[in-house]
Structure 1
C-alpha cells in the first residue's frame, strides 16, 4: 500500500467540529488513514485530526459502509481493550489516468493504493481533429474499464494530464507546443460526455508532482520543486505539504528563465532561455551537429527519446562531444535550480519526466555541487537534489493520482465551500 511510515509521515492536517464540515472532516480522516502504513485506530484518528471521538466514529462508519476503508485486526496498546485498526481498502475506489503527450498517449486504471490494474499506450493522434481524437480516448477509457471487470460505481473519475498551458477553470488545453491544431480544445467536457465519469484535468508537471506527494516519494520534505523534463521543461511545486497550482493552474512555466546569456536565440526573442538550451530536442540537435549522432534518415527517423538515449550512451562510452553536450546542459540546468530553490526556499529538488533517465547520471553528478556554490541558503539548510523514485512511463498513474488527490486530500478551498453550504 502506498503511504509513508507513521514515524516519517508529514504533520497531519486537523479537522473541525463546526457544523456542515462533513466532507472536509471525511477527507481529513481518509487522508490520515492513507498516510499511515500500519493503519490507525479511531482513538488515534481523533487525536491526530483534532476531532471529537463521536465525530470520528460516525465518519469511520460511513467510510466502512462505503468500502473505502477496512478493519484490519486489533492491536493492544496498554490497559483497556484492544483497538481496532483501520486501513485504506485498495479495492474500495479506482481511477483512470490519461497522459496526453505529443508523441504517446498512455492510460492507466489504478486502485486506491496506486496499483495499476490495466494500462495501455498508443501513438497520439495528431492527424484527426483534436475533438475527435479526445472522444476516441473516451472510448479507450470505457474499454479499459470493461476489460478490468471493475464495477463502474467504484470508479471515482478520470484524471487527465496534458502539456501546458491549460485553462483549468474550463478544462481546456490552450495551444500546447508540438501539437498543431490543439487550440482551446475542451478536453474535460469531451471526456465527461464520452465516459459519463467526472474528469479532473491538470498540467503534466502538476500530475507528476501530485504523484510524488501521493505515493510518499517526497519522504519527509514538506516543500520541493519538481523539474519535469519531457518534450518541454516545466516545474511543479509543493509548499507546506500542498501542491501549488497558481491562479490559473499554470504554475511552473519556467521555459524563459535565462541560463546562458550568450546561448541560442529563443522564440521569445531573447538568448539562452532554458527552453532554447536544455530541451531534449535542443540537446539532440547539438549532438547531431557535433557528429555524435548520424544525420536523420528520412526513411527511418529515430524518436527523440531514442536519440537522447544514444547521446547518453555515447557519453558513457567516452565520446567527448556527447559528454560535453550533457555537461553544458547540466550547468545550465543548475542555474535554473539555484534560482528556483533560492526564490522558494525549498528543502528538496526532484528531477523526473519521460526524458529524465538519459540525463540522470550527468545531472546528479554535476548539478548538486554547482547549486551548492550558487545557493544563498546553503549555510542555513541543506538542499537535497535527487531523481524521482517513480518508474519512467508512469505518467498516466500520476494523472490518476489527480482524482485520488481530489477525493482524499483535505484543502482550504473545500473547507470554505463547505462552510458556505
Structure 2
C-alpha cells in the first residue's frame, strides 16, 4: 500500500460508493430492493455491489423484512468494525488523536502538547508513535485501518501534502507532512486545513434534511472559518478557503500583524482576551504567563472563562465585547454566502460557549448591516471530541464513501 495518500483501499468505483453511502445513512437497515429504488441503480448492480461489500466486511445482514409478496428480504446494515480511520489535529496548543469506526463513532482518543520549538522531524516521529499507541490500545485489527487524516492550521498545500507556514509554529515551514507521516506509519495519509476538516465532520454527521449551507466558526489558537454550500465543502483553488480572520470589526482596535486595526482574528482569540484581562486587572501577569507559550495562554484563558462563569463583571464585559466583534464578522460572512446557519466549535470554544451564545444571536439579528431576510441559526457543534480531529478522520471515511467522482481519486505526489 502506498503510504503517501494515493492509494486508500479501493472500496470502489462510483456505484459502490453510492450504495455504501446509502447504507450508512440508514442505521435502521435497508433492503436491496430499497437500495435500488433509492439509488436508481439496477437490481443486478445493487446485488453485485452488496456482495462485494459483504465479502469485504463493510456491511452485514441483520434479519429480514417483509415488504410485499414473495419471501422476506435481507436487511443490510453498515458494519462499524469493518474499517477504521485515524484523525490527527495539529494545533499550536496541542495535538489531538482520534480513532473512529466506519459509522464515525470515536472509539478512542488522546492528546499531547505541541512542541512548537521542536524540529518537525522529531514531532512527526512522536506523532507516529502516538498513532501506533492509539491503535494498539484500542485493540482494533490494524489491517482494518483505512488511513490517517491530518487537520493542520493553514495555509496548506493539500495537493502535495505540505504544511506551508502555520502561525505560531515557527519551525513548520514547507514541511512535507503527508509523505513523512505516511513513511513513518506505513499508512495512507490525507492532509486538510483544520477549518475545512471541521466542515467535513459536520456534513458527515448531519441529519437528513438539516441545513447544507453553513459556516463553521473555528475558535482555536486563531480564528478560522469553514464553509459548506449545497452540501459540499468549499475549499477554493488552493484548498485554503475560509480565512476570515482579517475582517475588520473595530477600526479603532489593536493593530493586527497584517498592519490593519481591529481584525476579528486578532482581537477575539484567546491570547488577546488574556492580554485584555491583564490590562483590566482581572488577571496578574504571573497568572497570564508567557503570551507566546500556548500552554500558559490556555491556562489563563480557562481562568478567565471561569471568572466569567462565576459572574465577575469585568470578565463578563470582555465576553460581551468579544461576542459583538464576532457578530460583526458573522454578518459579513452571512451576507457574502447567504447561508442560514453558523456552527461554532474548536479547541478553545467550549469554555466560553454558553457566555457568547447568550449574546451572539441578538448581536447578529439586530445588526443593521445584515442583508439576508431569512433566519440565521447560531449553534454549537454537537461533536464532543476535537471537531477538527474527528473531521480529519471522517475525511478518510468520506473519501471511501463519497459518491462524488471528484472525491474518489487522490492526487499523486
- Structure 1 match to 2:130: 140
Q: TM-score, normalised by structure 2?
A: 0.90
Q: Distance in 1 between matches of 2:322 and 2:209?
A: 28
Of 380, 396, 402, the residue aligned with 1:409 is 402
- What is the correspondence of 1:14-413 to structure 2 with a 5 Å cutoff? 23-216=13-206, 220-296=210-286, 303-374=296-367, 375-378=370-373, 381-393=374-386, 395-413=388-406
Q: Distance in 2 between matches of 1:382 and 1:143?
A: 46
Contact 2:23/2:29 (8 A) holds in 1: yes
TM-fit CA distance, 1:384:
1.1
Contact 1:353/1:392 (8 A) holds in 2: no
Unaligned runs of 5+ in 2: 1-10
Q: Deviations over 1:253-293 (max 9, x none)?
A: 11111111111111111111112211111111111110111
Q: Distance in 2 between matches of 1:49 and 1:226?
A: 30
Contact 1:159/1:403 (8 A) holds in 2: yes
Q: Distance in 2 between matches of 1:383 and 1:155?
A: 39
TM-fit CA distance, 1:294:
1.7
TM-fit CA distance, 1:218:
8.7
Contact 1:105/1:123 (8 A) holds in 2: yes
TM-fit CA distance, 1:414:
4.4
**SS of equivalent residue, structure 1 residue 318:** coil
Unaligned runs of 5+ in 1: 1-20
4+ runs of 1 displaced by more than 4 Å? Answer: 297-302
Q: Distance in 1 between matches of 2:273 and 2:289?
A: 22
Q: Distance in 2 between matches of 1:299 and 1:320?
A: 23
TM-fit CA distance, 1:36:
1.3
Q: Deviations over 1:123-177 (max 9, x none)?
A: 1233431122113312322233233332222110001111111011111111111
Q: Distance in 2 between matches of 1:125 and 1:365?
A: 35
Contact 1:24/1:414 (8 A) holds in 2: no
| Residues 175/236 of structure 1: CA separation in 2 closer, same or farther (3 Å cut) | same
**SS of equivalent residue, structure 1 residue 376:** coil
Report the count of equivalent residues. Answer: 395
| Residues 22/127 of structure 1: CA separation in 2 closer, same or farther (3 Å cut) | closer
- Structure 2 match to 1:3: none
Q: Distance in 2 between matches of 1:294 and 1:234?
A: 29
CA RMSD of aligned residues (A): 2.2
| Residues 94/23 of structure 1: CA separation in 2 closer, same or farther (3 Å cut) | same
TM-fit CA distance, 1:22:
6.1
| Residues 195/329 of structure 1: CA separation in 2 closer, same or farther (3 Å cut) | same
TM-fit CA distance, 1:412:
4.1
Q: TM-score, normalised by structure 1?
A: 0.88
| Residues 311/148 of structure 1: CA separation in 2 closer, same or farther (3 Å cut) | closer
Q: Distance in 1 between matches of 2:93 and 2:190?
A: 22
TM-fit CA distance, 1:226:
0.5
The worse-fitting range, judged by mean Cα deviation, of 149-158 and 300-309 is 300-309
**SS of equivalent residue, structure 1 residue 303:** helix
Q: Distance in 2 between matches of 1:205 and 1:163?
A: 8
TM-fit CA distance, 1:399:
1.8
**SS of equivalent residue, structure 2 residue 28:** coil
